[in-house]
Amino acid sequence: MEFPSVDTRLLDGRALQTKILNEVRAFVEETASAKPIGKLVSISIGDVPEVAIYIRNQARAAEKAGIPFQELFWPADITQDEAKARIVELNDDPTVTGVILQRPTPEHINVRALQSAIHPLKDVEGMNPASIGNIVYNDVALAPCTAAASVELIKATGLNLKGLEVVMIGHSEIVGKPAAFLLMAEGATVTVCHHMTRSVASHSRRADVVIVAVGKPHFLGADMVKPGAAVIDIGINQITDPDGTIRIVGDVDTDAVLQVASWVTPVPGGVGPVTVGILMRNAIVAHQRQIAAEWV
């Protein structure tokens, strides 16, 4: 019997997620008798169909990791003050290990303010400004999940991050900037490019690793990548083919870049699954820190 060949240049995010979840489950089972881990609480505000996919993936990962998971659905017309008050109640609930605020939210909701309302010890997404600020001081244990997933995938290549030349294309507060600080904490040399950068390609072509998160389909082409480099694609874009077929693609022209790079993350199946795995790993970090603070 012939089996389909696997392109080893594609970094398998699902396999890496399984590894992370197995490690988390082992921890959860080991500590269950002494200090059982509390639940993760997912908050959705309003009816946003695409959010259901994220919640489903998180719930499945939590089940595999042995972490209780609760879904809360708040009405679209909830006020900012009421949402904040409910989050404070979750902060004070000893049965809650972590709070996840699903995005997007209705326009009248200030997401950053609600993220700030989640106590740093329960901020499993790493989105509280205090959590992001801690990264500057090399406290990276509760980092933003997507940024941390990017670093985890680079490590999966076997590359030594110390002295590695990395170009981060995109400088958002939740991915680009924290990813740059996480990589610097590992000893990498990082260049951050953005929409005002002159000739992004002149930077990316010299990098050992290129991470791209700009929200533009097929932005990164083969001519922008050094032969043998690793490429981490964080983009998620919906495109419609001439025949009407709708597909999800990344920010990388994957087929073209595979002819040049040594490793590329596919979309879907690359960064996304690892991000969810990191969320579960953050949950056990939060649990440990709550024990140290005598919260549980």
240: which strand partners?
A: 246
Decide whether 31-120 matches 145-272 in CATH topology: yes
Instruction: Answer yes or no: are the C-beta atoms of 150 and 157 closer than 8 Å.
Output: no
CATH 3.40.1280.10 fits 31-120, yes or no: no
Strands 230-233 and 237-240: what pairing?
A: unpaired
pLDDT of 244: 87
- Residue 228 tokens read as 């043998």
- Residue 58 tokens read as 């998180």
Instruction: Answer yes or no: are the C-beta atoms of 247 and 92 closer than 8 Å.
Output: no
pLDDT tens by residue, 46-76: 988 889 999 999 999 999 999 999 999 999 9
pLDDT of 2: 42
Share of the chain above pLDDT 90, in %: 86
Instruction: Answer yes or no: are the C-beta atoms of 115 and 124 closer than 8 Å.
Output: no
pLDDT of 48: 86
Residue 4 has pLDDT above 50, yes or no: no
pLDDT tens by residue, 117-144: 999 999 999 999 999 999 999 899 899 9
pTM value? 0.94
The domain 145-272: what is its CATH number? 3.40.50.720
Task: Give the per-residue SS3 of 146-163.
Answer: HHHHHHHHHHHCCCCCCC
pLDDT tens by residue, 154-210: 999 999 999 999 999 999 998 999 999 999 999 999 999 999 999 999 999 999 999
pLDDT of 295: 73
Domain ranges of the chain: 31-120, 145-272
Rounded average pLDDT over 233-255: 93
Residue 151 has pLDDT above 90, yes or no: yes
pLDDT of 20: 98
Neighbours of 239 (CB within 10 A): 11
Rounded average pLDDT over 226-251: 94
- Which backbone phi and psi does 129 adopt, to 5 degrees? -50, -30
Rounded average pLDDT over 263-277: 97
Residue 1 has pLDDT above 70, yes or no: no
Better pLDDT: 293 or 95: 95
- Which backbone phi and psi does 231 adopt, to 5 degrees? -125, 120
Residue 3 has pLDDT above 50, yes or no: no
